[in-house]
Amino acid sequence: MSESKLINTFARERVDNLASQNGEPSWLKELRVSSWEAYLQTPMPTGRDEGWRKTEIDSLDLSTLNAIDLSTKNDLKAKLPDWFETALTFFDNHSGVVAEVGHSSISAKLSADLVSQGVIFCSIKQALHDHAELIRPYLSKIGSDQKFVLMNKALFNSGTFLYVPANVEIEGPFVSLTHFTSLNGAPNGVAIFPRLIAVLGKHSKASLVNVLSSEQGKESKSSSRSLANALVEVHVEAGAKFEYLELQKFDDNVFAITRTHNQVEQDAVIKSLTVAIGGSQLKGDIVTVLNAHGASSDLQGIVLGDTDEHYSFNTIQKHNAPNTTSNINFRVALKGNAQSIYQGIIEVAKVAQKTAAFQSNKNLLLGAEARADSIPKLEILADDVKCSHGATVGPVDREQIFYLMSRGLAAPEAEELIVTGFFRQILEACTIGRAKEWVYDVLAEKIHQV
Amino acid sequence: MTAKQPLLSVQNLHVKVEDKEILKGVDLNIYAGEVHAIMGRNGSGKSTLSYTLIGHPRYVVTEGKILFKGVDIVEMTPDQRARNGMALAFQYPVAIPGVSVSNFLRASVKAIRGKDVPVKEFRQELKAQMKKLGVADEFLGRYINDGFSGGEKKRIEILQLALLKPALAVLDETDSGLDIDALKIVSEGINNLSNPETAILLITHYQRILNYVEPQFVHVFQDGRIVKSGGGELSKELEARGYDWVLQELTSSAVS
Ligand SMILES: Nc1ncnc2c1ncn2[C@@H]1O[C@H](COP(=O)(O)OP(=O)(O)OP(=O)(O)O)[C@@H](O)[C@H]1O
Ligand SMILES: [Mg+2]
């Protein structure tokens, strides 16, 4: 890692540098700068803020972080992590892979067919270069007053852009990887700001697998924290169908803050699965806005925590129009001393009559010291709605364990089978390639680790 | 001690559940090659005996012994007992959503046999047993006991035992809830478990299954112990005369 890349992240200078070193157009620089100014105006969240409960955000010392630039050079032969190579075997019909692995960037080879239909799948850097006018409106379409979203919008320097024109339907999934080394040998941690934008034109159909990860370090977590601040913005236009799978698999010195915003228009459908299986602190917001008549969303979440990992996921189902439906199914299993807090917010606007909104959160406590909290929050202003929410927190059912043991399985084996089964029910909903088998394997592997 | 050692020997077994004594001195010897039936009123402790045999942690042995293959198993965990050759078909098998029947069967067969069975071989064996028991293929992909009808649960229990081939099979009301045809099929399944090396302990309320699975010994359970034992004909007598008859006989013999 060259010294010149290690510029303290949180300085206006950094914003200027990004703009000039990437040869960005002036409008983009203006966008970055205005986000930066808003960032400065916004107070830093604290652990006392409702959305940040139990995140230990106060322990994140931004002044020590150094932003690193991912994907500074195109390198088709760059080495992908072994586990990611394995993952790709589950998506053998993929439509393209974009990978940013440290400094290297691997671009997707799209079929001539996709290219001729106007499909774009590339790194966000390349999109800003080659398709600036196309991506431009999407950079500012979704506003935010969130400190870390503004930070990302000012400093984003990696990530992926998917654009599927109207009426184009694509079977094989797109796959995106953002992988970094959080331990740079220096005393300070690093920071990355990936931004993913997916645009599904009217009546189009596609799926995307997004993997956010960092190198499993050999050093202990006593070494300094690194930050991954990721922003995912999904625009599902009228009548379009989108399926999304995200895996967050970080090293245990990474503080990851992710925000996903799904904007769903008339009669459009989004289906998504978020899987979080590693990191020191993972704080994720998943906002789904059902913006027009007939929009629907079906979100699944999986958290598998171990040791002293900390997970804080907030989902927000926002019904802005009548006849919209949303469903959330969020499951958490915690080993060791892992902790999780899930906050599920359902907001139904006054105009959003005939809305259906469902939310379920189940938590399995495997470790004696594991802790899970579940907080539903309903803000329903319309009067003709169907709405339900439910949460459970508890250990594995002893009767289930006993049943499996009575058929010869040792206690740990029995527990493992029940926990993977707990997640399998959620995985069933995912129809991207052989994604569910892959995720199942990834989960089983983590359960095996002691 | 006879030359032959019993496969199962229950001696003066006392069992507590949540500080309440349920079994109050059960004595029972079962030899390889035998089929035993236990009958008795609701709540008399039959299921408690079966749970205790397989080692459910809620049932605490306060007195007495359970010797299986000559070894006291009271301190053994359920999986150790299972790997030792004991199996219980539950009266109320629990559902485990998310765990498919096929995954579970493979895991349990592997655990019991102590080695992985090649996939192809296992599938063949499984398909053959499923056919015998009239279990449709779709059950393999379904979650264990999840949404199964009462009769379906019982069939799957017997399917598991057929694959595990236990030395001692304890069947707790496996006949309850079965339709007439299913009863026949399941009874055949039970008979197939029986051979000169194995034994069966069948808990039931009904004479009907005993027309298909013929026990050499019938025991009457009452208030946590066996109060009367006899041959196969005892079940018919019970059916005709009810449990009061046994009790009256007991009290009158006690008086005389
Ligand atoms: N967990 C428990 N807590 C309290 N009492 C229990 C528990 N388990 C069993 N018992 C009691 O022990 C007694 C025997 O129950 P058990 O289930 O062994 O009867 P059973 O003979 O199998 O009856 P059935 O013919 O109805 O199946 C009953 O009075 C029952 O209520
Ligand atoms: Mg019973």
In terms of Cα–Cα distance, which of A82, A120, A115, A80 is closest to A99?
A: A80
Mean pLDDT for the stretch of residues A125-141: 95
Residue A2 has pLDDT above 50, yes or no: no
pLDDT tens-place values along chain B, 256 residues long: 445 899 999 999 999 999 999 999 999 999 999 999 999 999 999 999 999 999 999 999 999 999 999 999 999 999 999 999 999 999 999 999 999 999 999 999 999 999 888 989 999 999 999 999 999 999 999 999 999 999 999 999 999 999 999 999 999 999 998 999 999 999 999 999 999 999 999 999 988 899 999 999 999 999 999 999 999 899 888 888 888 888 787 777 665 4
State if residue B18 touches ligand 1 by the CB under 6 angstroms criterion: yes
State if residue B57 touches ligand 1 by the CB under 6 angstroms criterion: no
Atom of ligand 1 nearest to the CA of B58: 1
CB A426, CB A273: distance < 8 Å: yes
A283: phi then psi, degrees, rounded to nearest 5: -120, 115
Ligand 1 center–CA B109 separation, angstroms: 30
Lowest mean pLDDT among A47-56, A122-131, A211-220, A294-303: A211-220
Which amino acid is located at A98 in the chain? V
Between CA A289 and CA A270 the distance in angstroms is 11
What is the Cα B8 distance to its own chain's centre? Answer: 13
CB A246, CB A272: distance < 8 Å: yes
10 Å Cβ neighbour count for B10?
A: 23
In terms of Cα–Cα distance, which of A196, A191, A336, A162 is closest to A250?
A: A191
Residue A322 tokens, joined: 């009548």
Ligand 2 center–CA B48 separation, angstroms: 7
10 Å Cβ neighbour count for B64?
A: 16
Atom of ligand 1 nearest to the CA of B22: 12
- Interface size A-B, in CB pairs within 8 Å, comes to 79
Please report the sign of the dihedral spanned by the C-alpha atoms of residue A7, residue A10, residue A12, residue A18: positive
A48: phi then psi, degrees, rounded to nearest 5: -85, -15
State if residue B44 touches ligand 1 by the CB under 6 angstroms criterion: yes
Residue B106 three-state SS:
helix
Pocket test for ligand 1, best of B13, B48, B226 (most atoms within 8 A of CB): B48
Residues with CB under 5 A from ligand 2 (ion): B 46-47, 91
Please report the sign of the dihedral spanned by the C-alpha atoms of residue A108, residue A112, residue A116, residue A117: negative
CA-only gyration radius of chain B, Å: 18
What is the Cα B65 distance to its own chain's centre? Answer: 19
Q: Which helix (H) or strand (E) holds A245?
A: strand A241-249
Between CA B86 and CA B150 the distance in angstroms is 23
CB B116, CB B109: distance < 8 Å: no
User: What architecture does CATH give domain B8-255?
Assistant: 3-Layer(aba) Sandwich (3.40)
Asked if A417 is an interface residue toward chain B (Cβ–Cβ < 8 A), one would say: yes
First to last CA, chain B: 32
pLDDT confidence of A7, banded at 50, 70, 90? very low
Which amino acid is located at A159 in the chain? G
State if residue B22 touches ligand 1 by the CB under 6 angstroms criterion: yes
Task: Sketch the domain layout of chain B as residue ranges.
Answer: 8-255
